[in-house]
Amino acid sequence: MNKGFILLSRGLLDNNLWRLDSDHLRLWVYLLLKVNYSDKKFVYGHGDNKITVKKGELLKSYRHISEDCSYSAGNRMVRWSTSRVGRMMQILEDDGRIEILSQTQLGTLIKVSLYEHYQSFSTYKGNGMGTQAVHQSIDISPNNKEDNKIKEITKELWEVWLSELSPKPPHPKLTAKRAQCLNSLYEEQLKESDDPTGLFKRVLKAVQASKHHMKTRAYQLPESLFRNFERRERWVLTASETKNHHNSAVSRTWRVDQ
């Protein structure tokens, strides 16, 4: 008998996933329910075929996923084809929700991005996630009293983006949509940092480290990277985790006076 629970952010209502057909949402919830939720690592296979499944990961074939997610609609049973599962997985990966780590004879190793963060009560305590205030767009109209300041922030972030992801011409243009995404990122994630520009550079370094995002130019543009609250938060968390991991490694290697 299955026991326990998962946490879902109300921000899901503002995400494109909510506007897709119900199969995509069904698959996403299924992955959250089935991934390894404990700190214990599970090892499958032997020798060179050994696979370790860590917290937030799942080893499953697309065929078994199809079987587990089958459902009744009217007088017929709906069961996805393996190619349909693959296409939906690709959409979830494009949205930054999952990462396909490997495909093996034992199944596909799937990682839910930042699983531990989103399944922690402390993430949602007192931070206003899911409230209207968090998801409001930044007003960049000429009537805004902060217009000049916003333009300066936008220009600075855009110049950093160009230097990191588009150093050679032709350069893309700073559209109103891109400006809005950059300012939302600043207001929600960068503003309280001691070094907003430095943090933004680390975010872009994290983007550069993603083979998935670097293979297609459209995935690197602000309107894709930072188009909603969840994506903006996820990138900053990824950048912060990478920095903490690096600092921790340096500490273990060089410090002897702890």
Mean per-residue pLDDT, 112-136: 65
CA distance 156 to 150: 10
CA distance 48 to 30: 29
Mean per-residue pLDDT, 242-253: 49
pLDDT(75) > 70: yes
Residue 192 or residue 70, greater confidence: 70
pLDDT(239) > 80: yes
Q: Is the dihedral of CA 186, 187, 188, 194 positive or negative?
A: positive
With respect to residue 88, please indicate whether it lies within any of the assigned structural domains. Answer: yes
- My answer on whether 160 and 76 are in the same domain is no
Question: Environment class of residue 254 by beta-carbon count within 10 Å: exposed (0-12), middle (13-18) or buried (19+)?
Answer: exposed
4's enclosing H/E stretch is none
Average pLDDT, the chain: 82
Most confident by average pLDDT, 53-62, 167-176, 209-218? 53-62
With respect to residue 51, please indicate whether it lies within any of the assigned structural domains. Answer: yes
CA distances from 232 to 81, 135, 181, 182, 189 (A): 33, 11, 9, 9, 7
DSSP letter at 77?
Answer: E
163's enclosing H/E stretch is helix 147-165
Q: How confident is the model at residue 242 (pLDDT cuts 50, 70, 90)?
A: low
**Number of structural domains the chain divides into:** 2
pLDDT value at residue 122: 81
pLDDT(54) > 90: yes
With respect to residue 5, please indicate whether it lies within any of the assigned structural domains. Answer: no
- My answer on whether 68 and 168 are in the same domain is no
pLDDT value at residue 143: 44
Out of 71, 86, 118, pick the residue that ends a domain: 118
Q: How confident is the model at residue 3 (pLDDT cuts 50, 70, 90)?
A: confident
Mean per-residue pLDDT, 29-53: 91
With respect to residue 105, please indicate whether it lies within any of the assigned structural domains. Answer: yes
Q: Which two tokens stand for residue 158?
A: 């855009």
221's enclosing H/E stretch is none
What are the backbone dihedrals phi and psi of residue 58, each rounded to the nearest 5 degrees, phi first?
Answer: -145, 135
- My answer on whether 111 and 140 are in the same domain is no
pLDDT value at residue 243: 61
With respect to residue 4, please indicate whether it lies within any of the assigned structural domains. Answer: no
Domain that holds residue 141: 136-251
Quote the pTM value. Answer: 0.58
Contact 187, 146 (CB under 8 A): no
What angle (nearest 5°) sits at the alpha carbon of residue 116, between those of residues 115 and 117?
90
CA distance 180 to 227: 9
pLDDT more than 90, % of the chain: 45
- DSSP, collapsed to helix, strand or coil, labels residue 144 as coil
pLDDT value at residue 255: 34
